[in-house]
A and B are shown apart, each in its own frame.
Chain A
Amino acid sequence: MNAEVLLTAPLLGAIILWVTGSKKPLPVWAAVCVGTLFAGFGLGSELTEHGEPYRILLGGWQAPLGINLVVDGLTVFMVILTSLLGLFVGWYSLAFKHAGSSLFWPLWMGVWTGLNGVFLSGDLFNIYVMLELIALGSIALMVVEGHLKTQVAALRYLLAALVGSLTYLLGVALLYAEYGMLDYLSLGEVVEPGPRSSVAFGLMVSGLLLKTPLFPLHVWLPEAYSTPSPQTGALLSAIVGKASFYVLLRIWFQGCPAVPTPSLGRLLGTLGSVAIIWGSVLALRQRSLKRLVAYSSVAQLGYLFLIFPISASASGQPRWLEFAYTGTVYQLLAHALAKASMFLSAGIAVEAGGTDALSEVRGLAERRPVTVFTLAISGATLMGLPPSGGFTAKWLILKGALGVGQWWWALVLLIGGLLAAAYVFAVLRFAFDQRDEPEAVAEPTRSSEWAALSLALCSILLGLWLQEPMRLLVLGGIGINQ
């Protein structure tokens, strides 16, 4: 029942809102949020009951003939994350002064459906369809506001997304040619390294790296995240990019576990490190608040790739893999919550100051103390300050890295944290500056500030709550018990 709700509630919500052209999305949106949150937690308790990851046979057909849904710890966390984002970003959108287009809601719910589809699906081709659904919806979300700059960024992103998807699909085709299956769990049991599987894997990974994105394929990101509305920037950075990373995790650890070589893992880890440093340095150089936040995303996504080299050396030592894996998932979740919060806060700051220029953030502490507080908290996650979710994540990854003897990642984590602190403090410094001429500014839309704050608080709460989630995540997923 739960999985079905997760897939159909947002979809039906989108249809109802679009057909009626409704300007009052509140009831439908609230229903979808509540429904999916309950379903997400319900899924979690179902999983705990089962005691191990389980399948849902769609159509009653077993894989490989039919498509199966797969539920494990990671699935549960991702769907709950999506619901939380839907809840708070939606609240922000409803509260925010400038009422956006009524198309925002059906489009976002379409993307939501696709996201839940990716997180639940166990079939490689089905994942392609869901990724396309997400891409189409996200890009449409970007252009609702109608600025030319945003449209250009959107088209660039769309082209990159399409190239990525097609490359991924070619990989799936080659994999199917070799094994005749699309179910990634079943594939995991039979895939061996070989010319076809290695090339197929390479193609799939490349396609997904273009969509996530990972340095140096990230060129479309800064404009794509900074030009649209803050709500869209929040959704894109928090979850849309993570969907392709999620697929990467699945195929790396469960679809083709025997294929990736340690050197490939090292390559991804290195590129991730470059992303962390490069992204943070560029963030420091930005003079626009939203672009700073966007470049910060380039950097923070880099942390996610450290799991690959660590896992390569962790065979036979599941403990370290558990730490690194849990840390990566925490980074995924914490960053999503914090980054979404940051984008929303940036939106509030721009509304207050009238411009996006960083220098205009001056005096924000006086006018929007709640927002500045929110920025500080979400900044804490990005920096990795305890007791935030970001700290827990980076600490776990660090433990994993040190445990397998790859101490150099510790340096990367340290430098990354310092650089993040630098750009967060840059923003806060401006915010606490005195404004020379106190001008009459737009009254804050109070509610929107609380929405942003809630997201930031969630990222902190995540840091405090480790035991139960870790148990759930490690529940037989991602080849830890292999």
Chain B
Amino acid sequence: MILDWLVVVLLVILSLTILLARDLFWVVASFITFGLVLTLAWSSLQAPDLALAEAAIGGGLMTLFLIDSLGFSDPEQTSSAGGFPITKLQGLTALGSMIVAVPLLRAFWAGGAVSPGLGPLVEQKIELSGVEHPVSAVLLNFRFFDTWFEMTVILLAIVALQTLRGRTPRGDSLPSGQSDQVLTWFARLLSPVLILFSVYLLWRGKHAPGGAFQSGVVLGAALSVLALTGYQDFLLRSPVVSRLVVTLGVVGFSGAGLFPLVLGGELAELPSGWAGDTILIVETMAALSTGMSIPYLLVALQVPKDKVQCEERTS
């Protein structure tokens, strides 16, 4: 209980720091810490799946993207714009928010008992789902449709990022592989471990926290590390193939979703005998495509750093 209070207080303090800190660096640093403390919160709330995902994304990916963006500095004035001390208008809106907070908090606290929710129903039907872990059952069977389109969102984000890359179709290139010996050695050491771990997470998702997404993110980390240290060929050799891999997740879900129609069932009605195996196949495809998506995201975020102001600041 004390841990809960500690986590909560930390979260609030960190969020206020993000709001009030002038220096951009402090804002980003606070946010990264916020993500890590959030991982603790998920654990307290009995949501290990979330803790895994948060650690991977909040602690890993977003950290990477944000720090990368930090290096892209601009005039002192802009970086420290906003935050403490606040203007009158900002003070007023803050006051407004506090007033709005009251009915919101009251709604959550005073509204009577929280509904039991769908937990009992899930428990009832889980045997038919093909997996044992309730969160996986929900994601990959009961609410298959949601996850299908979540994968579509990732795919569309990647396509969207390509619009920012300019007209060269083969503009996919990563910062030149560092010829840093230590980094390369470390990458060679780390990547196989990460890949193995991702396979473990994938398989584990059936009966314990884990599953396609967490597995995909770890795989993505492995692929990113490889790509950043010179092993870029697998990404760049054929744009068509790498795009194909990125779409595997959506294709897998679409296939599994449409196939039951042939058998006379509804969309995404996984036949109960085969549900488990179908889910495993779909999850593997999803993990692969999520994994491939991460280096893609990295590539897409690379904006040429040749602006003069930038060079002045970083020297």
On whether A and B touch (CB less than 8 Å), the answer reads yes
Is A200 within 8 A of B107, CB to CB?
yes
Residue B254 CB within 8 A of the other chain? yes
Is B156 within 8 A of A21, CB to CB?
no
Among A29-37, A170-178, A463-471, the stretch that binds chain B is A170-178
Interface centre among A3, A59, A125, A178 (most CB of B within 10 A): A59
Is A19 within 8 A of B160, CB to CB?
no
Is B107 within 8 A of A18, CB to CB?
no
- Closest B-chain residue to A111, C-beta based? B156
Is A67 within 8 A of B162, CB to CB?
no
Q: What's the nearest-Cβ distance from chain B to residue A295, in Å?
A: 26
Q: What's the nearest-Cβ distance from chain B to residue A179, in Å?
A: 6
How far, in angstroms, from A18 to B162 measured CA to CA in the complex? 11
How far, in angstroms, from A50 to B179 measured CA to CA in the complex? 68
Residue A65 CB within 8 A of the other chain? yes
How far, in angstroms, from A8 to B240 measured CA to CA in the complex? 21
Among A191-199, A372-380, A409-417, the stretch that binds chain B is A191-199
Q: What's the nearest-Cβ distance from chain B to residue A333, in Å?
A: 25
Given the known A-B contacts A1-B261, A19-B240, are A143 and B267 also in contact in the complex, defined by CB atoms under 8 Å?
Answer: no
Q: What's the nearest-Cβ distance from chain B to residue A452, in Å?
A: 25
Select B114's contact among A57, A139, A177, beta carbons within 8 Å.
Answer: A177
How far, in angstroms, from A174 to B107 measured CA to CA in the complex? 8
Residue B189 CB within 8 A of the other chain? no
How far, in angstroms, from A8 to B251 measured CA to CA in the complex? 10
Given the known A-B contacts A66-B142, A67-B143, A196-B107, are A117 and B254 also in contact in the complex, defined by CB atoms under 8 Å?
Answer: no
Given the known A-B contacts A19-B244, A21-B239, A177-B115, are A66 and B152 also in contact in the complex, defined by CB atoms under 8 Å?
Answer: no
Chain A residues positioned under 8 Å from B244 (CB to CB) = 19
Is A113 within 8 A of B103, CB to CB?
no
- Closest A-chain residue to B115, C-beta based? A180
Is B247 within 8 A of A15, CB to CB?
yes
Is B159 within 8 A of A61, CB to CB?
no
Is B115 within 8 A of A59, CB to CB?
no
User: Quick one: which of A26-62 are within 8 Å of B by CB?
Assistant: 56-61
Q: What's the nearest-Cβ distance from chain B to residue A63, in Å?
A: 10
How far, in angstroms, from A110 to B150 measured CA to CA in the complex? 12
How far, in angstroms, from A19 to B251 measured CA to CA in the complex? 12
Is B270 within 8 A of A106, CB to CB?
no
Chain A residues positioned under 8 Å from B166 (CB to CB) = 146
How far, in angstroms, from A413 to B164 measured CA to CA in the complex? 43
Residue B141 CB within 8 A of the other chain? yes
Is B268 within 8 A of A59, CB to CB?
yes
Q: What's the nearest-Cβ distance from chain B to residue A450, in Å?
A: 29
Is A59 within 8 A of B117, CB to CB?
no
Interface centre among B150, B163, B243, B257 (most CB of A within 10 A): B163
- Interface residue tally for chain A (C-beta within 8 Å): 58
Chain A residues positioned under 8 Å from B125 (CB to CB) = 61, 65
Is A136 within 8 A of B146, CB to CB?
no
Specify the main secondary structure of chain A where it touches its partner: helix
Select A56's contact among B254, B257, B266, beta carbons within 8 Å.
Answer: B266
Is A139 within 8 A of B144, CB to CB?
no
Q: What's the nearest-Cβ distance from chain B to residue A140, in Å?
A: 3
How far, in angstroms, from A18 to B239 measured CA to CA in the complex? 11
Q: What's the nearest-Cβ distance from chain B to residue A203, in Å?
A: 8
Select A18's contact among B114, B145, B159, B164, beta carbons within 8 Å.
Answer: B159
* B contact residues, range: 35 or more
Chain B residues positioned under 8 Å from A114 (CB to CB) = 149, 152
How far, in angstroms, from A252 to B117 measured CA to CA in the complex? 23
Chain B residues positioned under 8 Å from A143 (CB to CB) = 163-164
Residue B196 CB within 8 A of the other chain? no
Given the known A-B contacts A18-B243, A107-B163, A136-B156, are A59 and B107 also in contact in the complex, defined by CB atoms under 8 Å?
Answer: no
Chain A residues positioned under 8 Å from B265 (CB to CB) = 60
Is B144 within 8 A of A58, CB to CB?
yes
Select B111's contact among A7, A139, A194, beta carbons within 8 Å.
Answer: A194
User: Quick one: which of B216-267 are within 8 Å of A by CB?
Assistant: 239-240, 243-244, 247, 250-251, 254, 257-258, 261, 265-267
Select A199's contact among B104, B143, B239, beta carbons within 8 Å.
Answer: B104
Q: What's the nearest-Cβ distance from chain A to residue B42, in Å?
A: 16
- Closest A-chain residue to B157, C-beta based? A136
Is A65 within 8 A of B122, CB to CB?
yes
Contact bitstring B127-162, A, C-beta under 8 A = 1, else 0? 000000000000001111110011011011101101
User: Quick one: which of A115-154 are within 8 Å of B by CB?
Assistant: 117, 123, 125-126, 129-130, 132-133, 136-137, 139-140, 143-144, 146
How far, in angstroms, from A67 to B156 measured CA to CA in the complex? 22
Q: What's the nearest-Cβ distance from chain A to residue B102, in Å?
A: 10
How far, in angstroms, from A107 to B103 measured CA to CA in the complex? 40
Is B254 within 8 A of A12, CB to CB?
yes
Is A133 within 8 A of B156, CB to CB?
yes
- Closest A-chain residue to B124, C-beta based? A65
Residue A276 CB within 8 A of the other chain? no
A selection of 10 A-B contacts at a CB cut-off of 8 Å is A21-B169, A59-B268, A59-B270, A67-B146, A101-B163, A107-B163, A133-B156, A136-B156, A140-B159, A198-B107
* Known contacts A58-B269, A125-B146, A199-B107, then 6 further A-B pairs from the complex at CB < 8 Å, ordered by chain A residue: A59-B144, A64-B121, A123-B146, A129-B153, A130-B149, A143-B163
Sorted nearest first, the 8 A-B pairs with minimum C-beta distance are A140-B160, A180-B115, A196-B111, A199-B107, A60-B269, A180-B117, A59-B268, A110-B156
- Chain A residues with a Cβ under 8 A of chain B: 1, 3-4, 7-8, 11-12, 14-15, 18-21, 56-61, 64-67, 101, 103, 106-107, 110, 113-114, 117, 123, 125-126, 129-130, 132-133, 136-137, 139-140, 143-144, 146, 174, 176-181, 194-196, 198-200
